[in-house]
Chain A
Amino acid sequence: MEAMIQIKDVTKTFVGKDNQVEALKGINLSIQKGEIYGIIGMSGAGKSTLVRCLNFLERPTSGTVLIEGKDLATLKDSELRSMRTQIAMIFQHFNLLMQRTVLDNICFPLEITKVPRAKAVERAKELLEIVGLSEKMLAYPAQLSGGQKQRVAIARALATNPKILLCDEATSALDPTTTKAILALLKEINEKYGITIVIITHEMAVVQEVCTHVAIIDEGNLAEHGTVEEVFSRPKSKAARKLVFQGEGTATYEEMKGKRCIRIVFSSNSSYEPVIANMILTCKAPVNILLADTRDIGGVAHGQMILQLPEEEAAAEKMIQYLKNRKLEVEELTNYVG
């Protein structure tokens, strides 16, 4: 199947007066139709630049962006503009027209595409129904709350029946409850209309809540990508771990360096037995629990724990063996705490 969005070797370099900033250093990514794809990274990682390359608000310095197989770089100005009606975008600060009513904001993209006024109004009313803001039709953006503004922005984005919806930190300016409601709306839209959604965020919780897939961007590189389940339960790259196990590795415990550490991953069915307590009793040696955490990923509980093993080799080996016998995933961490 042809990918909805295909990103090939995309780089972007910003040239300043006396310095160059490489925002993207060769990104390859493929997003399928109907996916909710999260792109997560620390601020300054290049994720906002990447999403702007998907509708050519930023032109990549090199590499290609294909939307349903069409190379954006080969399009003429007018063709690019008509392509953009198919790639809607919402923003952190909503970017509504402050001098227009809610209704006229939603009509705006339709005006651009020269849809007759009566038809545009009809469509706008329909969309207001979907985002649950019909009673605010004649209000101005200044009279709305943040969550309501983002709903208007979503309605506006959907006006032209786009195939793709790009969300650039769309919930970062909202409180947690409103964030949940907006994410639920996005999920609903994705399921009802099959719109492919790309979500740029720095918040793990956002990806966990709605995304099917995730890519982790770190200093302009693609650190890791895959299904949310894969990446979040077994993050491989350093950047991914830093995001997934937030707080881990930020402190340095000097005295622990050099000792052996292991990561244990609990899947859903292994959390009943008091494994660690039993292990300590069996092996007759103490362990140091450095981190323990349970997360709900896609409805399945995933636990993980990082243990520091005793210095004595035999006891350490015995423990690893014990855990492996309990069918737990055990992974040795070299130089953990770094």
Chain B
Amino acid sequence: MRVRTSLIALAVGSVLLAGCSSVGVKPWQRDILSRSDMRPDGAGLDDAIDEHLYFSKEASSGGRSFGGGGCGCN
């Protein structure tokens, strides 16, 4: 059973490593990635306004960036 588990883990690990070898792009392949809608922080003021609103109404905040307050609303 242990051997079988090890073999499965080895197979899965090999597939993942093979996948990682193809991860990433060359500099000339960044045309789509360079757009603002492809950046995690690309929404700018939209995100700032949303984060502030959700912070004032929920017990959670942050994640994308620091979840500090800077506001007495919560």
Partners in one complex: no
